[in-house]
Structure 1
């Protein structure tokens, strides 16, 4: 699978966009984790730049290739998890005072079916990274792996938050 192949693929789940405002839909595993990154405008600026340029994905070793250097609705992203393709499409973005991020949904060929959202939020002077997801196994083999797949998603989400922390702290290689 190549990045250019993704344009012909469809999203594999309904409803879409629920990791931004919720509620997350039934019939899926739900995940929501957050981490306080620090305080102030500099922390927020660093974290928002990182989230919109795929630092969380790089931070867990996915090496994303995208059709644009910054997340925007319709941007396709192809990563690799070892040898497995991880094809996704950005389905929402938020760039508002106090809240910035994006969510992407799975395309055909992904081991799961669902959506992950990545937000940086200001709560007063405090800055938080939030990861929300809903998913279900897309492949028979993935269904058999059940709890292992779910545990892997939890580990990935914690890795995303660690990458956001590194970015907020000003480390050049947040990913």
Structure 2
């Protein structure tokens, strides 16, 4: 199915910005990536332009050069016949002087249902922190059958994101 015809697969759109919904696995991770305005702006450019994802080893095929509400992206992980495609739509953008980021939600065909938020924050002490918040549950039968392995993959990819924002 073409990316533009796919629909969001969960009703709690935007929930990564607040209390995470019941009935899903939750993931909340963060890492201090540096200090100061230059670090914050450089990291925001990489995040909003999909470079953080690419640096984490994800094949990124977005419909827009920068993350924007309504933009869609096909994320592909793996190689050859083991390559998994994950279609998402940006559902939230943070564009504040001390916070930048976005959340995307799963579309039809994604092996999971849920949402993931990537948020850069420049705190009062000038440290710059990347936070990742997600809620998800299996959507595909094979994702449900391999749920423990899928959680490990999600944790590994999250750690790669946290290490690749700069």
Q: Does 1:76 align with 2:72?
A: yes
- Gaps (5+ residues) in structure 1? 168-175
TM-score (norm 2): 0.94
Partner of 2:163: 162
Q: Deviations over 1:113-167 (max 9, x none)?
A: 1111101001121100011100000011111111111111111111100011xx1
Residue 45 (structure 1) aligned with residue 46 (structure 2): no
Give the TM-score, by structure 1 length: 0.89
Aligned to 1:136: 137
State the alpha-carbon separation in 2 of the partners of residues 88 and 48 from structure 1: 20
Q: What's the Cα RMSD here?
A: 1.0
Shift of 1:61: 1.4
In structure 2, the residue matched to 1:6 is: 3
Give 1:109's aligned residue.
109
1:19 aligns with 2:12: no
Residue 60 of structure 1 and its aligned partner are, at CA, apart by 2.1
Structure 1 stretches of 4+ with a deviation exceeding 3 A read none
- CA apart distance, 1:24: 0.6
What residue is the counterpart of 1:171 in the other structure? none
Partner of 1:12: helix, strand, or coil? coil
2:59 and 2:141 map into 1 onto residues whose CA distance is 26
CA shift for structure 1 position 56: 2.3
Q: Could you list the runs of 5+ residues in structure 2 that have no partner in the other structure? A: none
- Aligned equivalents of 1:111 and 1:81: distance in 2? 12
**TM-aligned CA deviation for residue 7 of structure 1:** 0.9
**What is the deviation of 1:59?**
2.0
